[in-house]
């Protein structure tokens, strides 16, 4: 068993902080790393030690394998947690960490490789009895072969990059006449994005849900599924809202999808936390899409409904300990929703924004969890992804969770840069969302009406919030009047402004 007492957290922002907190609860010391742009970030101060690893661009810092391994070595770490993004799914990094005599807190490199090649993943899943989307399990050599396969499957089809994932190198083809051009385009895009142009063919599934199963596997041969997350609310392959459980799953379907997911993980010798993505049809038919061989952004919704700390389990598993989760005892309790609060302007096509976080009021109270990575005074740049924080709520029922999210979103105040806050509030109030009628086209269909430009709001919002802040400050500074003079009901500039902005009723 690897003796681990100190962990290098090879990431930044909210997930670095999340991992550092898990380390501390697991009685481990944490070592942070930071780029020049992140020297004032909260994750740096949360860790026992912090190592500068280079300039702001990720290629010079958070993607620099040598620097990270050297940072771990020089500070006496025994393990490296990669978080998500950056180096988390790079098999060469997992290998390099192991060669340096350190524990990679993630799956064996071989599992990353197997799942990274999308046709190999499909072959493995097929062999393990996991239903895959109809299509080829090998790359197709040319457009003529692709047309043959597409005709066999029936149009429309999707051309996908073998080295792909996350939507890059993907082309939808409606009819044979489009195939030649789409094939060239997919191949070219895949070559540029992944350095490998191989493409394969899948039947295109119309309007499925994106439902994924969380799995945990330890080195003692145990593999468990922690139910599903409903992730259909996404935009350009970026998830914006996730929830658990999915309204589309009966206990029987949950059991079947969980069995498929544990079979999938088991078949590649998986260890640690991983996620099996499925497309789920309206009749309950599900098909393997891909496996994410890392901790995911949306892991908290699973934690809240299963009562499991997934990051602490990752740390235990990496140390060779048995996981504290037992398959037979797992059922979701209540409902959890996560909204990704990003520095993007929903009223301007989600344009990423930069600026200084001038003021931040974080929601709290019953059933509210804030997994944040920046604090007041921090600057948000374009060097990294736009996630400021994840706002996660839990409630007994989905309705209660939605009400709680609305309340929490209204408590949240961010001044200094546009965020996705108002967008989330509008989704929470949207009838088809409230009925749980979701599929991967939800935002395409509902988004435009939800985000109809409101020039007044855009101009007034920052002014209103700043005015409210000044009013708050003045009130706080003022000497309170004698009791008898005090009005029983005090008009609140904040409330007026917030009502106008739709931040409260
Ligand atoms: C699909 C699909 C429909 N049919 N495959 C998108 C990214 C990559 N992970 C796979 N993706 C899809 N593959 C077949 N055969 C639809 C998508 C897809 C999608 C999947 C999950 C979540 C959001 C999505 C948005 C658009 C397309």
Domains and CATH numbers, the chain: 6-105 (3.40.50.20), 134-203 (3.30.1490.20), 209-458 (3.30.470.20)
167 Cβ inside 6 Å of ligand 1: yes
Average pLDDT, the chain: 93
Buried b / exposed e over 408-445, threshold 16 CB at 10 Å, is: bbbebbbbbbbbbbbbbbbbbebeebeeeebbbebbee
pLDDT in tens, 392-446: 999 999 999 999 999 999 999 898 999 999 999 999 999 999 999 999 999 999 9
CB within 8 Å of 168: residues ≥ 6 apart: 161, 189, 190, 193, 194
Measured CA to CA, the distance from residue 111 to residue 291 in angstroms comes to 10
Among candidate residues 124, 171, 294, 340, the one labeled active-site is 294
Q: Please state whether the predicted TM-score (pTM) of the whole model is above 0.85.
A: yes
pLDDT in tens, 310-366: 999 999 999 999 999 987 778 999 999 999 999 999 989 999 999 999 889 999 999
Measured CA to CA, the distance from residue 275 to residue 263 in angstroms comes to 12
| Of 140 and 482, the one with more pLDDT | 140
pLDDT of residue 106: 98
- The percentage of the chain sitting over the pLDDT mark of 70, rounded to a whole number, equals 91
Task: Tell me the backbone φ, ψ of residue 180, rounded to 5 degrees.
Answer: -55, -55
pLDDT in tens, 269-320: 999 999 999 999 999 999 999 999 999 999 999 999 999 999 999 999 999 9
205 Cβ inside 6 Å of ligand 1: yes
pLDDT of residue 293: 97
CB of 379 within 8 A of CB of 371?
no
H or E, element range at 319:
none
pLDDT exceeds cutoff 80 at 496: no
pLDDT of residue 480: 67
Q: What is the 7 CA–ligand 1 centroid distance (Å)?
A: 35
- Residue 504 a catalytic site member: no
Measured CA to CA, the distance from residue 309 to residue 395 in angstroms comes to 18
Q: How would residue 166 be classed by pLDDT, with cut points 50, 70 and 90?
A: confident
pLDDT exceeds cutoff 70 at 493: no
Residue nearest to atom 14 of ligand 1 (CA): 204
| Of 117 and 459, the one with more pLDDT | 117
Measured CA to CA, the distance from residue 452 to residue 426 in angstroms comes to 11
Residue 310 tokens, joined: 């997934």
Q: Is 478 exposed, middle or buried (0-12, 13-18, 19+ CB in 10 A)?
A: exposed
pLDDT of residue 42: 97
pLDDT in tens, 456-482: 555 556 666 677 677 677 777 776 666
Q: What is the 238 CA–ligand 1 centroid distance (Å)?
A: 12
Buried b / exposed e over 378-406, threshold 16 CB at 10 Å, is: bebeebbbbbbbbbbbbbeebeebbebbb
Helices within 268-355 (DSSP H only):
299-306, 310-318
CB within 8 Å of 187: residues ≥ 6 apart: 169, 197, 198, 199
Residue nearest to atom 23 of ligand 1 (CA): 440
Buried b / exposed e over 138-159, threshold 16 CB at 10 Å, is: ebbeebeebbebbeebeeebbb
Residue nearest to atom 24 of ligand 1 (CA): 440
The rounded Cα 448 to chain-centroid distance in angstroms is: 23
pLDDT of residue 73: 98
**Averaged pLDDT for residues 202-208:** 97
210 Cβ inside 6 Å of ligand 1: yes
159 Cβ inside 6 Å of ligand 1: no
pLDDT exceeds cutoff 60 at 455: no
Q: How would residue 140 be classed by pLDDT, with cut points 50, 70 and 90?
A: very high
Compute the Cα dihedral for 108, 112, 115, 120 and give only its sign. negative
CB of 163 within 8 A of CB of 118?
yes
- The percentage of the chain sitting over the pLDDT mark of 90, rounded to a whole number, equals 84
Q: What is the 170 CA–ligand 1 centroid distance (Å)?
A: 9
pLDDT of residue 1: 58
440 Cβ inside 6 Å of ligand 1: yes
pLDDT exceeds cutoff 90 at 72: yes
pLDDT of residue 474: 72
């Amino acid at each position: 068993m690897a003796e681990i007492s100190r962990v290098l957290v090879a990431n930044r922002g909210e997930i670095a902080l999340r991992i550092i907190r898990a380390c501390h609860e697991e009685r481990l010391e944490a070592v942070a790393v930071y780029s020049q742009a992140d020297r004032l970030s909260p994750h740096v101060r949360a860790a026992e030690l912090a190592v500068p690893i280079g300039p702001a661009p990720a290629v010079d810092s958070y993607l620099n394998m040598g620097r990270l391994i050297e940072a771990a070595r020089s500070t006496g770490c025994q393990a490296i947690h990669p978080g998500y993004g950056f180096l988390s799914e790079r098999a060469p990094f997992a290998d390099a960490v192991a060669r340096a005599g350190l524990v990679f807190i993630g799956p064996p490199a071989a599992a990353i490789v197997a799942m990274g090649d999308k046709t190999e993943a499909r072959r493995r899943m097929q062999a393990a009895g996991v239903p895959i989307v109809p299509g080829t399990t090998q790359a197709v050599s040319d457009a003529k072969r692709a047309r043959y396969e597409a005709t066999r499957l029936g149009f429309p089809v999707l051309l996908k990059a073998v080295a792909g994932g996350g939507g890059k190198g993907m082309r939808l083809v409606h009819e044979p006449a489009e195939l030649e051009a789409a094939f060239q385009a997919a191949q070219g895009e895949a070559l540029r994005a992944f350095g490998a142009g191989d493409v394969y063919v899948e039947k295109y599934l119309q309007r499925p849900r994106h439902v994924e199963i969380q799995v945990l596997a330890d080195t003692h041969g145990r593999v468990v599924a922690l139910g599903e997350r409903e992730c259909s609310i996404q935009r350009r392959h970026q998830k914006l809202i996730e929830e658990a459980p999915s309204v589309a799953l009966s206990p029987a379907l949950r059991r079947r999808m969980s069995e498929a997911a544990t079979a999938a993980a088991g078949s590649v010798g998986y260890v640690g936390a991983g996620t099996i993505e499925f497309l789920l049809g309206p009749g309950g038919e599900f098909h393997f899409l891909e496996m994410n061989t890392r901790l995911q952004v949306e892991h908290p919704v699973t934690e809240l409904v299963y009562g499991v700390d997934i990051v602490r389990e990752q740390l235990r598993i990496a140390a060779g300990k048995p996981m504290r989760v037992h398959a037979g005892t797992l059922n979701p309790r209540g409902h959890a929703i996560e909204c990704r609060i990003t520095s993007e302007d929903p009223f301007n096509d989600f344009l990423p924004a930069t600026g200084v976080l001038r003021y931040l009021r974080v929601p709290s109270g019953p059933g509210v969890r804030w997994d944040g990575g920046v604090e007041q005074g921090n600057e948000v740049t374009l060097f990294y992804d736009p996630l400021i924080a994840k706002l996660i709520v839990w409630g007994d029922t989905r309705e209660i969770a939605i009400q709680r999210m609305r309340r929490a979103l209204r408590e949240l105040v961010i001044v200094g840069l546009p965020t996705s806050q108002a967008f989330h509030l509008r989704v929470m109030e949207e009838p088809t969302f409230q009925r749980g009628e979701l599929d991967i086209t939800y935002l395409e269909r509902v988004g435009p009406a939800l985000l109809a430009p409101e020039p007044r709001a855009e101009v007034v919002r920052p002014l209103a919030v700043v005015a409210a802040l000044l009013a708050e400050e003045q009130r706080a500074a003022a000497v309170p009047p004698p009791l008898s003079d005090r009005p029983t009901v005090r008009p609140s500039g904040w409330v007026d402004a917030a009502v106008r902005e739709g931040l409260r009723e």
